[in-house]
Amino acid sequence: GEDVEQSLFLSVREGDSSVINCTYTDSSSTYLYWYKQEPGAGLQLLTYIFSNMDMKQDQRLTVLLNKKDKHLSLRIADTQTGDSAIYFCAESIYSGGGADGLTFGKGTHLIIQP
Amino acid sequence: GAVVSQHPSWVICKSGTSVKIECRSLDFQATTMFWYRQFPKQSLMLMATSNEGSKATYEQGVEKDKFLINHASLTLSTLTVTSAHPEDSSFYICSARVPPRGSGANVLTFGAGSRLTVL
């Protein structure tokens, strides 16, 4: 079955880099995603990576994928107070038009220390 | 970009009443929408997949007679919590599948969520 694991909490100082880690079990995962959820709000897609890629960078965000170890990470450079949120890792198996949802991890609560 | 609007954002109701939550795709057509439930400090639990023009597909353990889903148009899906009880209090979030733009990624856009409190 599908399973996505994340640490529940991460605390970093403002200005430092944050690295949020995720492991998954389904080797046929095609796409892996990072979503951000601010308090009382829905989920916002931050970025996603195709399984044949090792790295993807988008401004302050860097996604690293180790497909062999089924490990995904999200690095946030120069972490700001506005980055405080819960970050969800998710995976999917794209079926070319099928109605597949995503399998989510439990989310990592990123806490920013001043 | 693709926007999903969810309404109401919060609702308080008495035990035994029914509550309807709407999920609309504002600038795209969504043949498939998903309904999730989120308990405090926990992840999203997929409740059901809503398909336009057909019956919803419910996840194991989710009562279809309790959580009625209607996807009558390409831009609207509704979730009705029937005869709500305090244990139904939760944060309900919908999402819609955004048509892929060549990359093929199964990108979902989420609504802002609806917080239901049953007294």
Kindly report, residue by residue over B52-75, the tens digit of the pLDDT: 888 899 988 999 999 999 998 999
Q: Is the pLDDT of residue A107 over 70?
A: yes
Kindly report, residue by residue over B2-20, the tens digit of the pLDDT: 789 999 999 999 999 999 9
Kindly report, residue by residue over A38-63, the tens digit of the pLDDT: 887 888 889 988 888 899 999 999 99
Nearest to A31 among B34, B95, B106 (CB): B106
Contacts of A52 (CB under 8 A, 6+ apart): none
Report which of residues B102 and A32 the model is more confident about: A32
Chain B residues close to A42, C-beta within 8 Å: 4, 6, 93, 95, 110-113
Cα–Cα distance between B111 and B109 in angstroms, integer? 7
Chain A residues close to B106, C-beta within 8 Å: 31, 92, 94, 100, 102
Nearest to A45 among B42, B103, B107 (CB): B107
pLDDT of residue B32: 87
Nearest to A31 among B105, B109, B110 (CB): B105
